[in-house]
A = this chain, B = another copy of it.
Amino acid sequence: MNFVAACELETSDWLNTDQPVSLGALRGKVVLVEAFQMLCPGCVSHGLPQAVRVHRTFDRDDVAVIGLHTVFEHHGAQGSREALAAFLHEYKIPFPVGIDSPSNRSGIPQTMARYGMQGTPTLILVDRRGRLRKQKFGLEDDLVLGAEIMSLIGAGGETSPAGDTRNAGSRRFG
């Protein structure tokens, strides 16, 4: 079975991190990218809280959670770094968040366009080898997501048999 490589993120800025983050640098980990807009009700009520739960549940050696602010509407209201920073502060978002690079030709930012995202929230899972394994627009079930993430944790872990939860994807409780 062949999977496509996940497109690298095209970002103009990063928050909650000293260094910009890239999928390339996260090779070897499972990556959850949560694409959101701060003014999107579904992102605020479901997508982002779910991404925070993933960030708190899985070992950071196995799973990296990244937010991606994919502003495609109300650019004036939510397009600035200042607005995003205030939002991340108030909602206590703990993981790195990149600002999807605006496009010169359209209101759709570049990473969003590359991935052909339908809107927000969009949840993306990338495996340890940098391949795109899931892209879902809308809400996802925690039970399904936990299973999918563990499935990707298990793959490519030579020293951690999927059946032994203590070696693979051990959980840290927040």
Interface residues of A (CB under 8 A from B): 1, 39-41, 44-45, 50, 53-54, 57-58, 73-74, 76-78, 80, 82-83, 85-87, 89-91, 127, 133, 141-156, 161-166, 168-169, 171
Contacts and interface: CB of A to CB of B under 8 A. Distances in A.
Given A1-B164, A77-B87, A156-B163, A148 B150 contact: yes
Contacts of A91: 41
Nearest to A146: B146
B150 A147 contact: yes
Contacts of A87: 39, 77
Given A53-B143, A146-B142, A149-B147, A166 B1 contact: yes
A162 B154 contact: yes
A31 to B, nearest CB: 14
A90 B39 contact: yes
27 contacts: A39-B86, A40-B90, A45-B45, A53-B141, A57-B141, A77-B87, A83-B83, A141-B142, A142-B142, A142-B143, A143-B143, A143-B146, A144-B146, A144-B171, A146-B146, A146-B148, A146-B150, A147-B147, A148-B150, A148-B165, A151-B162, A151-B164, A152-B165, A154-B154, A155-B162, A155-B163, A156-B163
Contacts of A156: 163
Nearest to A128: B163
A54 B141 CA distance: 11
B143 A57 contact: yes
